A and B are shown apart, each in its own frame.
Chain A
Amino acid sequence: DTGVSQDPRHKITKRGQNVTFRCDPISEHNRLYWYRQTLGQGPEFLTYFQNEAQLEKSRLLSDRFSAERPKGSFSTLEIQRTEQGDSAMYLCASSLVSFSYNEQFFGPGTRLTVL
């Protein structure tokens, strides 16, 4: 079990550019979550998947954001036309839906800086 991995770990981009992040969950975990964390705040929910189905999107997820999990394994989060306000740590987590085991395990995050 290698844990949740995210790529890249850091991304610096210029305003207006598109960026894409990848998350690989713990194998056999069927739920995958994306959160965003800004400095000094707790993580805020963006969206989550059950296998390949996107179950919910937060109001924080503007039209410039899109996420997918095409084969129910890894997921990508794309931000189009980045803005300085998008600068944050983007966290991915995964969990296994069961009666007694529901902790979400987090990856190391992708830190985005928009110049």
Chain B
Amino acid sequence: AQKVTQVQTEISVVEKEDVTLDCVYETRDTTYYLFWYKQPPSGELVFLIRRNSFDEQNEISGRYSWNFQKSTSSFNFTITASQVVDSAVYFCALSLHSGNTPLVFGKGTRLSVIA
């Protein structure tokens, strides 16, 4: 069975600080995709980033970056120079095979950025 664990339930940071959200996943499949979604107070899930299991190269996209390590089954997400608008619940999710299968979500991490 697949499982996604987000250990941090809530994080609070001061604006402009960097913050890293942790995600650990479990799967026996060798082909899978990992995603991060953001759920602002309005409630709609917004896709942020994805990474497939064959590509461990870490990337930066604007203020977002991610660290994918298969050896530790971790897919951590970092926001640099956080802003108040980053306040939301962030979900890590796993999808098997090609990625077009149902997502398995973690329980989410609530991020509060204080001005």
B102 A48 Cβ-Cβ under 8 A: yes
Determine whether A103 belongs to the interface, using a CB cutoff of 8 Å to chain B.
yes
Of the residues B4, B33, B44, B105, contact of A109 by C-beta under 8 Å = B44
For chain B, give the interface size range.
20 to 34
Q: Answer whether A42 and B107 are a contact pair too, CB < 8 Å, given A102-B95, A104-B47.
A: yes
Determine whether B72 belongs to the interface, using a CB cutoff of 8 Å to chain A.
no
Separation in Å of the B58 CB from the closest CB of chain A?
A: 19
Determine whether B91 belongs to the interface, using a CB cutoff of 8 Å to chain A.
yes
Q: Which residue of A lies closest to B44 (CB)?
A: A108
A97 B45 Cβ-Cβ under 8 A: no
* A-side contacts of B47, CB under 8 Å: 103-106
Determine whether A45 belongs to the interface, using a CB cutoff of 8 Å to chain B.
yes
Beyond A44-B105, A58-B102: 7 further Cβ-contacts under 8 Å?
Answer: A43-B91, A45-B104, A97-B98, A99-B98, A102-B100, A103-B47, A103-B50
